[in-house]
Amino acid sequence: MTALPSSGRAWHLVARPDGWPTPEDFALREVPVEAPTAGRILVRNLYFSVDPYMRGRMNDVKSYVPPFPLDAPMDGGAVGEVIASEAEGFAVGDHVLHGLGWREYAGLPAKHAKKVDGSLAPLSAYLGVLGMPGLTAYAGLLDVASFKPGDAVFVSGAAGAVGSEVGQIARLKGASRVIGSAGSDEKVRLLTQEYGFDAAFNYKNGPVAEQLKEAAPDGIDVYFDNVGGDHLEAAIGRLNQFGRVALCGAIAQYNDTGAATGPRNIALAIGKRLRLQGFIVGDHSDLQPQFVDEVSAWVRSGELKYNETFVEGIDNGVEGFLGMLRGENTGKMIIDLSR
């Protein structure tokens, strides 16, 4: 039997960021690793996720997810290999999805882990296209925004893990037009040439409202909001009567220390009879089986494409997170510990 490690490294939050996080707000520390007791497993993490929502957890404010405590290992989605098990149904060598990322080794109750099959999709896909971001896209578009065939759909942050999937699902479900915004000309080309968006624009190239009007001359019926601010304001201006907005994220404002910008035209929602609804993916876990069945079939057939950006090594975990906030990823940003 292979000896179990006595310790491993884990990222800790050591200071609450004021505005943009800096590397000094984090520390990579050695933590003890214990053999599992009854009902528990020990996992060597192969990949862990860095996501926009984690920035909010660095503030000491009440929210739908508790803030990260200071001077303790951070957590988040991860996929790894079981290296020791005292739990029925979990064997050494199994691959599992769980919530103790940001570290090399994770000891947890087996009931908090879910076995995943690397033969159906690459293991990293369970953190993105077939994971939490994918379910966010699926539930937000189809359930929260009540998408129906023929709708014109606008997605902000459209080259990210959530946005790219929203646009493709809309196209596969019969949208009349799919429009996306992204932060570089290269990402705009990706949206139209690889993901099948009908139109896309670089929000850095000019006012969002003007670019959206050009891309959606007949207006939009659904807006999937990952950005907030000027994007939400522009979308409200272009939404048709009885348009729907799924409020998923506001990454443009996560690091602001001043007053939020926009939307200044919220009164338009009255006359247009708009519906703006915020949502949390955890409220839609009942859709998980349907989501995995439908989306995995599209992935296998090649009808739905996805990208991943890998940052190698736990030493670079924070830099990967900061890069994601800066928009340096195409698709899902993942920290790769597999090598």
283-294 pLDDT, tens digit per residue, is: 999 999 899 889
C-alpha to C-alpha distance for 29 and 141, rounded to whole angstroms: 40
Q: Centre a 10 Å sphere on the Cβ of residue 135 and count the other Cβ atoms it contains.
A: 22
**CA–CA distances in Å: residue 233 to residues 114, 218, 227, 246, 261:** 40, 17, 11, 14, 9
Spell 210-243 as b/e; 16+ CB within 10 A means b.
ebbeebbeebbbbbbbbbbbbbbbbbbbbbeeeb
In the chain, DSSP finds a helix count (H) and a strand count (E) of: 9, 15
pLDDT at residue 88, rounded to an integer: 97
pLDDT value of residue 154: 98
Token pair for 286: 């009942």
Q: 84-97 burial, b for 16+ CB within 10 Å, e for fewer?
A: bbebeebeeebbbb
DSSP assignment letter at 227: S
For residue 325, pLDDT over 80 is answered with yes
How far is residue 286 from each of residues 53, 197, 249, 321, measured CA to CA in Å? 21, 28, 21, 29
* CA neighbor of 324 nearest in space, from 128, 108, 61: 128
Q: What percent of the chain has pLDDT over 90?
A: 87
Greatest alpha-carbon pair distance for the chain in Å reads 69
Instruction: List, for residues 55-85, the tens digit of each pLDDT value.
Output: 999 999 888 889 999 999 999 999 999 999 9
Confidence of residue 278 (pLDDT cuts 50, 70, 90): very high
Query: What confidence score (pLDDT) does residue 275 get?
Result: 98
Write down the pTM of the prediction: 0.87
Instruction: State the average pLDDT over residues 116-122.
Output: 87
> Which structural domains are found in the chain, ordered by start?
5-127+306-334 (3.90.180.10), 130-280 (3.40.50.720)
Residue 302 corresponds to which amino acid? G
Q: What is the pLDDT of residues 209-235, one digit of tens each?
A: 999 999 999 999 999 999 999 999 999
In whole angstroms, what is the distance from residue 264 CA to residue 136 CA? 27
Half-sphere exposure of 282 (CA within 13 A, CB side): 3
Give the model's pLDDT for residue 260: 63
Nearest to 188 by CA among 156, 220, 161: 156
How would you write 46-75 as a 3-class SS string?
A: EEEECCCHHHHCCCCCCCCCCCCCCCCECC
- What Cα–Cα distance (Å) separates residue 230 from each residue in 162, 248, 250? 19, 15, 10
